[in-house]
Amino acid sequence: MKRVKEGKSVRTAAKEKEVRRQHEEPHDFLTDSSRLEGGGVSAQQKDNLGDRIRKARGMRGLTLSDLSSRTGISVEILERVESNEMIPPLGELVKLGKAVEMKMGYFISPGVEKPMTVVRSESRPTISRYGKRRSEQYGYFYESLAPEKANRFMEPFLITMVPTDVKELSTHDGQEFIFVLEGEMKAQVGDQVEILRAGDAVYYDSSCPHLVKCVGEKPTKILAVLYTGNK
């Protein structure tokens, strides 16, 4: 009886350790085929986000230094992104797409040619969590709401924001629309600062320095639609 209990304890401890690992490490839940339901994933879809960025850079004949100078993202960060050690925030994905003349959506998911695609509520893919390093804790994770639509001009996301100390404003091409679903959110564009609550919406040019973050100690959930300007 004692051996059986010890065996169960070992298995339980191992399972708890694996769960903790999955929550601590950043994952590309959208493109990691082992985490997709239903199977049938094509070779193209099996590529991780970092793989797609590296291939796009190679197609343009760009070095990491070239990409760094075009985006303002350090070579060290780009190396970690391409090796799938970290997932960049949305603003940096927009810059990377512009630098290699690809739509941001290609990095998230190339998609397929269909007139209409549907993402069911129970199968929304989470793209980004938080990196282990403090500098990678952007204060949010996001779920793509249109990963299967190819050649999309808009990028809709369901974003959950958590309390963070991040104060740095972001700048990239395009425009953004945000509708607050739950909680409170601070929106800063230039010197203008607004507090938005559930039911409020904001639209702004993302070429202006901007920052959105949750207010208070509770998470905030928003619907965000990005237009990057890439055609």
How far is residue 175 CA from its own chain's centroid?
17
Give yes or no for residue 96 having a pLDDT over 60.
yes
d(CA 100, CA 70): 9
Sign (positive/negative) of CA torsion 58, 60, 65, 71? negative
Per-residue pLDDT tens over the stretch 176-218: 999 999 999 999 999 999 999 999 999 999 999 999 999 999 9
Give yes or no for residue 220 having a pLDDT over 90.
yes
Give yes or no for residue 168 having a pLDDT over 50.
yes
Give yes or no for residue 221 having a pLDDT over 60.
yes
d(CA 158, CA 166): 20
Sign (positive/negative) of CA torsion 31, 158, 124, 174? negative
d(CA 168, CA 134): 14
DSSP code per residue over 27-70: --TTT-GGG-SS----HHHHS-HHHHHHHHHHHTT--HHHHHHH
Give yes or no for residue 121 having a pLDDT over 90.
no
| Overall average pLDDT of the 151-159 stretch | 87
Per-residue pLDDT tens over the stretch 4-63: 445 545 454 544 444 333 333 332 222 222 222 222 233 334 568 889 899 999 999 999
Q: Which domains does the chain have, with CATH numbers?
A: 33-227 (2.60.120.10)
pLDDT of residue 18: 40
d(CA 140, CA 6): 40
pLDDT of residue 194: 97
Closest by Cα among 154, 150, 139 to 220: 139
For 81, the enclosing helix (H) or strand (E) is: helix 75-82
Phi, psi of 191 (to 5 degrees): -95, -5
d(CA 197, CA 211): 16
d(CA 69, CA 74): 8
Max CA-CA distance within the chain? Answer: 68
DSSP code per residue over 184-227: EEEEEETTEEEEEETT-EEEEETTS-EEEEE-SSS-EEEEEEEE
